[in-house]
Amino acid sequence: MKKISEMPKSERPREKLQFRGVQALSDLELMAVLLRTGSCKTDVMDLSGKVIKAIDQNKGSPGLDTLLTIDGIGPAKAAAVSAALEFARRRIRPEGIRVTFPLDVLPLIQFYADRKQEYFICVSVNGACEIIASRVVTIGLVDRTQVHPREVFADPITDRASAVIVAHNHPIGPLEPSEEDREITKRIRDAGETLGIRLLDHIIFNRKGYYSFMENEEMEKL
């Protein structure tokens, strides 16, 4: 990863935001703008990556104590990150968004496409086809993630969800599902039937596109 000082000025996060708009920035770059500077030991881009990892590993809500364990994050930076996350939760909530088709959730999770590891995500849906919550279930390796149905359904059971949509990013390789992807989809579907929580779709996505089990009529074939 390039340090800020090694980047052309037009590609540095703050300047990129000014000239190309906030939508052009990756999560890493957005966090770098929020942190503003690194530390004496760590460049702001590396520090941003560590903060994002902590956010992902704590389901989007790392406490101040967690943030303060990151080398280079002091009370001021930890407070800024916590405040930004809470502001976003209050103003931009997926809860209540109606799902007409499973792919309606894609805009809510697309930002995971730039991750270097596989992220397995579960979206809980209520009986009115409204989103209850979207959560990261597990974080895996660059080419696979290990997930068990009990991890997938732990939160939807608490949510009293009637259905779920699962998804994961493919950092490398094609979008087409592997045999492992098909096997875990079948296991999740079967477990959901036992629990009375329907699996609506499994979506595989990257920066360029997506693959939907439902669209490709694979749900019935499993």
Residue 143 pLDDT greater than 70, yes or no: no
Question: What does the pLDDT look like over 10-67, one tens digit per residue?
Answer: 899 999 999 999 988 989 999 999 999 998 889 999 999 999 999 988 878 899 999 9
pLDDT for the residue numbered 221:
82
> Do the domain assignments include residue 220?
no
14, 84: one domain: yes
Alpha-carbon distance 39 to 74, whole Å?
9
pLDDT for the residue numbered 146:
80
> What is the DSSP secondary-structure string of 146-157?
---HHHHHHHHH
Alpha-carbon distance 24 to 139, whole Å?
25
Q: Say if residues 196 and 167 touch (Cβ distance below 8 Å).
A: no
Q: How confident is the model at residue 170 (pLDDT cuts 50, 70, 90)?
A: very high
87, 126: one domain: no
pLDDT for the residue numbered 218:
92
Question: What does the pLDDT look like over 197-217, one tens digit per residue?
Answer: 999 999 999 989 999 999 999
Give the chain's domain count. Answer: 2
25, 110: one domain: no
111, 188: one domain: yes
> Do the domain assignments include residue 199?
yes
> Do the domain assignments include residue 219?
no
> Do the domain assignments include residue 111?
yes
pTM value? 0.75
78, 138: one domain: no
Q: Which domain CATH number covers 136?
A: 3.40.140.10
11, 33: one domain: yes
> Do the domain assignments include residue 218?
no
115, 28: one domain: no
pLDDT for the residue numbered 41:
86
78, 158: one domain: no
Whole-number average pLDDT of the chain: 91
Domain extent for 132: 102-212
pLDDT for the residue numbered 152:
96
DSSP classification of residue 137: E
Residue 121 pLDDT greater than 90, yes or no: yes
85, 185: one domain: no
> Do the domain assignments include residue 97?
no
> Do the domain assignments include residue 174?
yes
Query: How is residue 73 written in tokens?
Result: 């994050």
